[in-house]
Structure 1
């Protein structure tokens, strides 16, 4: 099984997710969206699958450092523009297994991939 995992290399949650997948013998292709960015089309596909609210990481330092005006009155269009401009605002990891998309890391959810 080959899955694609998107995130930021130095993120602790990413490290846990990748270690879990490796321990289960699942081959991954890693895309560091802080380094490589993320396309508007890919982001739109994720939003269609899980919603922009699930993708926007409001708890991270990147979000907290945004100007107050950027953090207020969020709409999908505003959130998309922010995530494209600041990929660190995308919750991580984003895991794609065929058509299935998982956002965030929970071992019990990831276990479904190998179960």
Structure 2
């Protein structure tokens, strides 16, 4: 099973996640959210661990630029239409999912 890293190429935490696994010789699949969003199936797995609201990067520049703090919106629809608004990286191994840079959790994954 390969580690999936959902992120943005410009995201420092995504780069840290990629580096973490590369340094340990662990293969990863990088999914650039700016080119391809998260599929329905993947989203179901991810939302078993995290609520949709947790996936929305409310501290990011795009959220502020779009002035979303003062708007009413459907989070799922918003993330599907604008994947740049995801908090990243989202790292998945089997049924386990992390959000953000989480090397303390990753080191406990039984990756072979």
Structure-2 change in CA distance of 1:48 and 1:74 (3 Å): farther
Higher helix residue share: 1
Distance 2:15 2:29 in 1: 14
1:94 aligns with 2:82: no
Deviation at 1:73, TM superposition (A): 6.3
SS in 2 for 1:112: coil
1:108 aligns with 2:96: no
| Equivalent residues in 2 for 1:55-94, closer than 5 Å | 55-67=55-67, 70-72=68-70, 78-94=74-90
Distance 1:81 1:29 in 2: 25
Deviation at 1:65, TM superposition (A): 1.0
Structure 2-normalised TM-score? 0.84
8 A contact 1:39–1:84 mirrored in 2: no
Deviation at 1:108, TM superposition (A): 1.3
Unaligned stretches of 5+ in structure 2?
A: none
8 A contact 1:6–1:30 mirrored in 2: yes
Root-mean-square deviation over aligned CA pairs: 2.1
Q: How many residues align?
A: 111
Match of 2:6 in 1: 6
